Amino acid sequence: MSKTITIALDAMGGDNAPSEICKGAFEACEKFDDIEIILTGDKNKIKSCLKEHPRIKIEHADEVIDPDEHPANAIRKKKNSSLRVAMEMVRRGDAQGCVSAGSTGAIVAGGVLVVGRLPGIDRPALGVPIPSINKISFMLDVGATVRCKPENLLQFALMGSIYSHKILGVQNPDVRLLSNGTEEIKGDDTVLGARELIENKNSLNFGGYVEGNDVIFGKADVIVCDGFNGNIALKLGEGIMQALKKLLTDEVKNSFMAKAGMLLMAPVVKKLWARFNYEQYGGSPLLGVNGAVIKAHGRSKSPAILSAVSVARNFIYEKGNELISQEIER
């Protein structure tokens, strides 16, 4: 990989901006010698917490999009926001990708309104790696397109299969539709229509339906759904993990025997939490837009920012959008 790529990084997005974003940018440039990063946001705030690096630059932007703002309105009106400036750089070709831990809605709106959709893609999809018992699955959509047509789910399946293969390294990914049962008669009209379309697509390895309780057991490499159900499934999974962690912590605090047992179990528990730690799986790609747009978790610290930048880098080098466009044309 001899070509240097440029990634615009929203320095003001997320709960830990700009300090952890700047730290993550530095760590990314230290790890990868073939990237340069342009941090967008308040120049003075960025400089106060940025360790200088020859491949890190700053693009001043004096506005920030807050999470409670209407996404589309904020993208349209706040033209000098850190997120919009980053996305404008992708649209102009000054950067090949952008990363933000900011508002999911604003990132999706900016991806469509600023970066623009790929030709042939009707709706974008936000995908997320899902750690399961024995592998990493990829679920899309988890919030970009709430209401879908069967054709949208077919396009999600195509994009998800390409991403799973080229970025996650899965050979011939098993693609399945999220539904309320595994029988062919299950699902609403949209899911049933999507099943018929996907079954007839020879380039896809379609395995039928997958139920919500089978997702964590790795029954599918690619899980396709609309953004409404996908977001609920994702948030439910995150909530269960947080609840389990709290229950375990409370029990250990209240019991001497539990504390003693935890000393013996600590290495195992540490490995378990690490397997389900979002920071090591990078960001969530917004697929279907004309650039590498990556959504990092809102609570991201520097390791998660480093991972998200890595996802953007890999997607660009693997020519993810070119492969998606070629498949859609076919």
Residue-level pLDDT at 257: 66
Could you tell me the residue range of the domain that residue 65 belongs to?
A: 1-121+288-330
194 in a structural domain: no
Q: Which long-range contacts (CB under 8 A, 24 or more apart) does 53-61 make?
A: 53/25, 53/26, 53/29, 55/29, 56/25, 56/26, 56/29, 58/11, 59/8, 59/85, 59/86, 59/89, 61/12, 61/85
244 in a structural domain: no
245 in a structural domain: no
Looking at residue 65, which CATH number applies to its domain?
Answer: 3.40.718.10
pLDDT digits (tens, 9 = 90+) for 20-76: 999 999 999 999 999 999 999 999 999 999 988 999 999 999 999 998 899 999 999
In whole angstroms, what is the distance from residue 98 CA to residue 54 CA? 19
pLDDT digits (tens, 9 = 90+) for 187-235: 789 999 999 999 998 889 999 999 988 888 889 999 999 999 998 888 8
Number of folded domains that form the chain: 1
186 in a structural domain: no
76 in a structural domain: yes
> What string of DSSP letters covers 81-108?
BHHHHHHHHHHHTS-SEEEE-S-HHHHH
